[in-house]
Each structure stands twice: as C-alpha cells, then as structure tokens.
Structure 1
Amino acid sequence: MNSHSVAANAVRAAAGDGQPPAHNDAASDIIVIGAGIVGLAAAFHLIGEGRRVRLLERNGVAEGASYGNAGAFAFTDILPLASPGILRKAPTWLLDPLGPLSVPPSYLPRILPWLIRFGRAGLPDRYRHSLLVQARLMRLAATAMDAMVDAAGLRPLVRRDGNLQLYESEAEWQAALPGWEARASEGIRFEHARGERLAELQPGLSPRFTVGTFTPHWQTVADPYRFAMTLFDTVIARGGTITHGEAVRLEPGPDGVRVHLADGSRLLAGQVVLAGGAWSRPLAKGLGDAVPLETERGYNTTLPGTAFDLRRQLTFGGHGFVVSPLVTGIRVGGAVELGGLTAPPNFRRSEAMLKKAATFLPGLRTEGGRQWMGFRPSMPDSLPVIGPSTADPRVFYAFGHGHLGLTQSAATGRLIAELAGGRPPSIPIDSFRPDRF
C-alpha cells in the first residue's frame, strides 16, 4: 500500500462510501467478505441482479494483491502451475532463496502437506484434468470480463497490446512447445518470433534471447489498482455499501448467516460470499472446510515510466517474472515465495528480479523504483475454490485464484451471482469444490 491508495480510500470514506461501525446483528441481503478484485466483481454481478450487497473489508479496498499485480488478463494462461515440467525444475529452484520458487526453511514443515498435494497435482493425468478445467474457466473469464468492462465503464483502462514470452535458448523454447500445442488445441492464437520480428515486437532486448512467442490477444490494464477502484466506485454508485472490519467467524443459523467481527460486533445476512483471498482459509475452516489454501508472496518494483521503451508485457518464464507497462510506471515482478502471512517482506527478491531485468533489457534504468509485496491465495492444483460451503448452502466461496485473480474475477462474479440466485452455473463447478482434496 502507498500514499496514493491510502488517500484514495480516505477520500471515498469522506464522501460517504464508508459505513459506520457495525452494530450487533445489522442485517443485509448478502455480504461479500473481501473488497479485492474478486469480491468487487462478485458484488458487481450480484447488484446487477437486484441484490442489496454489503462489502466487508478488513483493510482498504483493493489494497492487497489487487493493488500490486502485473495487470494482465491472462486468458491464454491455461497451464496449471503444478505441471510435470515445474516438478522437474522445483528442486533446483528451491535451493535458490532468491529464485523463481522458494520456501523459507522455517516455513517448510508447515507447508509440506501443501507441497505434497502440489506434487500430486502435477502428475500427468491430474495435470491434464486441471488444464482442461482451467481452459473452460478461461473461456468464461474472457466473455464475462468483456461484458463487465463495458457495463462498468472500464473500457478506457484496458489495452490490447499482447504479451511476449522470451526464451534464452533453443532448448528452453523446445521445452515450452508442448504447452503452446495445448494452447493451440484450445484455439489460442500465438506467433513464434525471431530476428527482426522479435526486435520489432520489443526493441532493446539482450541478444541472449533468441526466440519469443507473441500472444496478440493478451490484454493488460492501465493500472490494476485504478481498475479495481473504478469497479468499486461503480458498485457504490449502484447501491452497494461497504463496512470496514475483520471477519473472524461465520455462524449459519435459522435466520441467516452471522458474520462475527474482530471488534465483537456482528452482521447478519441471508447469504455470504467469502472472497477474502489469502485470508479466507480460517473462515472456511471454521465452517468445517479444511481447504488447502496457501499464500504465495509476490514481489515487484515499479519504476518510472521513462525507465525503458516498453512496448508490451514481457514474460521471462525461465526466471518466473514479468515486466509490465502501466500508466503508473514499469512494473518488474513475479516469482513465488511460499512463506505465509506473518513473516516480514524479503525485498531482496524484488532486487534480484530488478537486477535480472536490467541484464535482459540493457537500457533499463533501475533508479527511482517503488517496492511492493502482496499475498496471492493459491491452491495446489492451480484451480480456485468456487461454490457453496459444505456446511451451509447460503455461504459461497470465491477464493484461491493464485496468479489469476484479476483474470478470473468477472467469471467468478458471474458464477457466484448464478449460484446465489439459485440458477445453474454457466460452467460445471465440480472441480472447484472446497472438499475436492
């Protein structure tokens, strides 16, 4: 969080978007816990169906992963993180504390069960299943996002400039080809580029990158925080309300679902949507759903926009990070640190990515950057949790999207609105069950 985000939320509260402290059993039609991009998309779709929606947010609106992500609609990113390829790379990566995938030694005993499930999810048959499910969700995500962008007035914040995935050798490119073949089977367009064409797509690359793959329909947003806050403003303008407070327990009862807050107050609703991102696990566990949700700590540095002539988002897959052009600057970030919610940030990871980026883009000026760390809520099979709680059908889960929260937010919002309205979902949701493990 930075001064701009604090000020923006303060201005909205002063204008009347904030609510007074919750009173005991204050009632609502439906409460959405979490005002990140997924919760905002759910609220938007629910309001579109005439529901009276109260957002409940423990911090500032969109100040978690929705604030500092890479800003991409990664609809072509259908390959699960848990894959046979990454399982071969993971042992080497884990030995590098600043590499693309790391686990602090002190956290290893706690995360070991998750890592075992992650390994099983990368087995060929399970990987193929997750890929097909992810592809189906991404098709819905593309159409639902397009509709939400138009309906919420977000079109000026969306760019269609594509993504360029870069490879340092023929061997690295060849190893990636099965993934591109899987995308081709799903109708995803792409172009392999070399030489002059590669230089045309992005001038100033290091000559170490001999080949790239360009996905022309990849979209980015001007800035993920502005995108989320514009959606929030639309939700409020259409009748949504927001209460600031931390949910600590959900209690289904005959008259609805009570949301107990950390300050001792309670909120009552006919239905509740749990979209708390990385903080969703304790609330689901309190209902009896022991969801294996873990926290990927993501890092980035946002440089001034003049730092490099960046034409489009660049992906350095072999190093686990991207470089994104935003209206707020050039964002260098990514990688995965599985370290939980309480450890202090290790900004050496941001510095390591920035140092690599300067090598890959020799003209990149690295001074004047702003560092950030956020929490991505991740499931072992790379699929989110979407659907009713096993404890009570009036509680719906919408969390666990990993790197794809922005991308899949509109699809999740549409599915939640359908489920809350008692209608069949647009796509089968069995693979998103909270008890699938």
Structure 2
Amino acid sequence: MSQKHATIIGAGIIGVSTAAFLQRQGFGVTIIDRVPPGEGCSFGNAGGLAFAEITPTVHPRVLMKIPGWLLDPLGPLTIRWSYLPKALPWFLAAGRNALPSRVKAITEARANLAMRVVSDFETLLKSAGASDLLKIQDTLRVYGSEDQFTEEAGERAVKNAHGFETKRLSGDEARELEPALGPNVHCAAFHGGWYFVTSPERVVKSIAAEVTRNGGKIIFDDVTALERQDGKATAITLKGQGRMPVDHLVICAGAYSHLLAKQLGEIFPLEAERGYHMVLPNSGVSLSRSITYARAPGAATPMEMGLRLAGSDEFAGLDAAPNYARADKLWTLFKQVLPGLREPDQATTRWMGRRPGLPNSLPVIGRSKTTSNVWYGFGHGHMGLTWGPTTGRLLGELMTGAASNIDLSPFRADRF
C-alpha cells in the first residue's frame, strides 16, 4: 500500500507543525508557500506562548473601550475608514460573541486548547534540536495605577478558576525582579502562563528543517487554484510549477486561507488583524522575561536580535500599505514603564504582519464541510504561535481517526 500524503498550504508555525505531526502519523508531506518557513506572519509576533490567555480577544470590557480606541488613529485598535464597510460585519459578529454566554463557552474552548501547548512545543523543539529557543519564564503584566489593576480583576478571576495563578507583586517587587522597570510601575502580576521564545522565525525554520530531514518537501510557490471532483480535492495549480495532484490537502495559509476555502464553496468571516513590531538591537534595557503593560495590548520581549516591542490591531485589509507610526507608538507606550529605553536608531527595524482573525476568537481546526480530503487549520488571531504545535497535533489526530484529548466541536469548519 502506498504511503498517505498530505499537501500543506502554508509554511508558518501552524503549517510546519502540522507537517511534523503528520510525519509522526506516517504521512509523507509537502509544504507549499510563497515565502520560506517562518517568514510570513510567524516571523514578527511577540514571541509569546500565551496559553493562559483564555478569555476571547473581544469581551465586554474590551467592547466598551473600542469606540474610544477607534478615535485615536494610533490607538491599540484602528480601522482605516475606507475599509469600515468591509470590516463592519466582522465587528458586529464579534459583538454578538461578546455576550456573557458566548464568552463563557469560548473561554472553555480556549482553555481546552491550552492544555498541552507547552508539551507540544517541547515535543517539536526537542526533535528539531532547538529546545533552547523556549524560555520558561512567565510574562509579567505591569500596571501604572490601582485602578488599572482593579479593572482586570474579572480576567484574572477567570484565569485563576482555570488553574492559572496570577500572583500580584508590588511595584518594588516587580523592579527587584526586573530592574529595568521604572518608578511609575504601581504593581504587577504574573499572567499565570505566558512563556516566550527568543526567535519565532528560528522556531519555525528549525521545525521545518526537521521535516525536510525526515523526508518532507518544501516548495516555494503560489497556489492559484484548487481542483475538486466528486466531493474531493484532486489537484492544485501553482503559479510557477503548474498542476500538482493531491491526496490529502491541509489549508494553513493564515490570513489568506479564506480565499482558498472560497474555491471549495465555503465562506469564512476571516479578517487580517494587522500587527506591528519594532526591534531595538540597542534598546538600553535588559529583561529576563516578556513584559506587558495594561495601558495597551502588546508585549516587550527580549529576543536574540534585540528587544522586540510588538502589538497593535489594525483593520485595513490584506493589501493596504503599512503605517509604521503604529510601530513607533509601541516605543512611546513602553518608554513609560521602561525609562531606560533608548531612542530608535539606524539598527532599529519595523514590521507589519497579518494575523488571521475570526470574530469568535476560536480557530478553525477540522475537516472541510464540502470536500472530504481537505482539512483546515487557520484563524488563530493573536494566538498563532501559542496554538500552532497543538493545532498540528490535533490535525494529525483528526486525519488518522485518533482520539483527541479535547472536544473539537467548537473549532469545526461548519460552525459558521
């Protein structure tokens, strides 16, 4: 009997993790992407394994802040006004998912997805000889006032109820732990489970290299069309290399996934949640862990290429030009709690990437509802790095009929 084969569209953390776990299940694998592994959206994230972040991205407290954020073009969340008509249905759907009953159900699903994040990462990094990239240091969240700390009591209570300890520290205790923190840090708290990697790009490249050592193939090309016959995908067309037959097809193409799914007759409310980063090789500060600041979504993470300030959420579609003033705003924010932070210099780099966001803060992990040999792994929003290896493991289990450790129904493709 010939070996089963999976063609995986997407060479980010989800695609390469899926390939690695499918190889463990006996599949031959081919990964296809227009750019090398780890050079798409996986390249520029904040580097966090934020498995304790189980509350959905949009919840009642955030919902109340959105109107004010939108008035600031450099605020934590912005919509380019020309794009508003396109984004509005997504925001209305996100609002419906912010109802208390929906938030509870989404939180449970996210908590289930978090259960084996660290062990799945360790499995892949150990095999790839890259375990040193993962730092088991919980991220510290810092607050400028007691009001800021009190405002997040509900989210901390939810984390605590699910076993994530969010220990409070005084400002002095936080500065003892991280001397780079300034005097205006009133207090701090551990997230309860948010580790980090020192190079997201190298994480993906290391896993991809192990996939190729195990016989996998990586093709750099654009997928332009999917062929389907009798309810099965039969082939894909590549821009450069033409037609390629497929056995099993896995779509992990990030913010572009819905464009491929549409060819199979499936519509997903996927939006590109555009994030920014700034890397400061000469930052002037030293951190032993990632830091988040309650004033705005984002993180300051010590990485091998420098201090990375990452965050922001911009809705402007896939193709709009970047607004790097949003990256600069991250420096302004973190300067408030890291007073030794140096001005950006000629070595500083800025970047924009497209997170694939769904309005209920849950990814699609499962079989296509129209095409029996097509599987999906996309829509992870701000949690792509965190949930990437776990998604790969779950897809491997689904595609071989193995029992899963969690209920996968919240992630079904046919839920929309």
Please, what TM-score do these two structures have when normalized by structure 1? 0.91
Question: Match of 2:409, as an amino acid?
Answer: D
SS at match of 2:246: strand
Check the 8 A contact 1:46/1:53 in 2, yes or no.
yes
Q: After superposition, what is the alpha-carbon deviation per residue over 1:8-66, rounded to whole angstroms, capped at 9, x for unaligned?
A: xxxxxxxxxxxxxxxxxxx9821000001100000000111221100011222211111
Q: After superposition, what is the alpha-carbon deviation per residue over 1:187-206, rounded to whole angstroms, capped at 9, x for unaligned?
A: 11231011321111222323
Could you say which residue in structure 1 is the equivalent of 2:251? 274
Question: Which range moved further: 273-282 or 363-372?
Answer: 363-372
Q: Displacement of 1:150 after TM fit?
A: 2.5
Q: Which residue of 140, 149, 174 maps to 1:198?
A: 174
Q: Does 1:131 align with 2:107?
A: yes
Question: Match of 1:153, as an amino acid?
Answer: G
Q: Displacement of 1:250 after TM fit?
A: 2.0
Q: Which residue of 62, 67, 71 maps to 1:86?
A: 62
Q: After superposition, what is the alpha-carbon deviation per residue over 1:79-138, rounded to whole angstroms, capped at 9, x for unaligned?
A: 110100100101100111100000000000011110100111111110111001000001
Q: Displacement of 1:149 after TM fit?
A: 2.6
Q: Does 1:224 align with 2:200?
A: yes
| Correspondence 1:122-271 to 2 at 5 A | 122-215=98-191, 217-253=193-229, 257-263=234-240, 265-271=242-248
Q: Displacement of 1:433 after TM fit?
A: 1.6
Q: After superposition, what is the alpha-carbon deviation per residue over 1:252-297, rounded to whole angstroms, capped at 9, x for unaligned?
A: 3368531122347111111000000011011111111110010011
Distance in 2, Cα, partners of 1:307 & 1:269: 51
Q: Does 1:114 align with 2:93?
A: no
Could you say which residue in structure 1 is the equivalent of 2:315? 338
Q: Does 1:288 align with 2:261?
A: no
Distance in 2, Cα, partners of 1:153 & 1:305: 29
Q: Displacement of 1:169 after TM fit?
A: 1.6
Question: Match of 1:327, as an amino acid?
Answer: E
SS at match of 1:405: helix
SS at match of 1:280: helix
Question: Match of 1:313, as an amino acid?
Answer: S
Q: Does 1:433 align with 2:412?
A: yes
Question: Match of 1:258, as an amino acid?
Answer: A
Could you say which residue in structure 1 is the equivalent of 2:399? 420
Q: Does 1:95 align with 2:95?
A: no
Check the 8 A contact 1:257/1:272 in 2, yes or no.
no
SS at match of 1:56: strand
Question: Match of 1:426, as an amino acid?
Answer: N
Q: Does 1:314 align with 2:291?
A: yes
Which blocks of at least 5 consecutive residues in structure 2 are unaligned? none
Could you say which residue in structure 1 is the equivalent of 2:18? 42
Check the 8 A contact 2:226/2:233 in 1, yes or no.
no
Distance in 2, Cα, partners of 1:358 & 1:385: 37
Distance in 2, Cα, partners of 1:204 & 1:327: 18
Could you say which residue in structure 2 is the equivalent of 1:359? 336
Distance in 1, Cα, partners of 2:279 & 2:285: 12
Which blocks of at least 5 consecutive residues in structure 1 are unaligned? 1-26
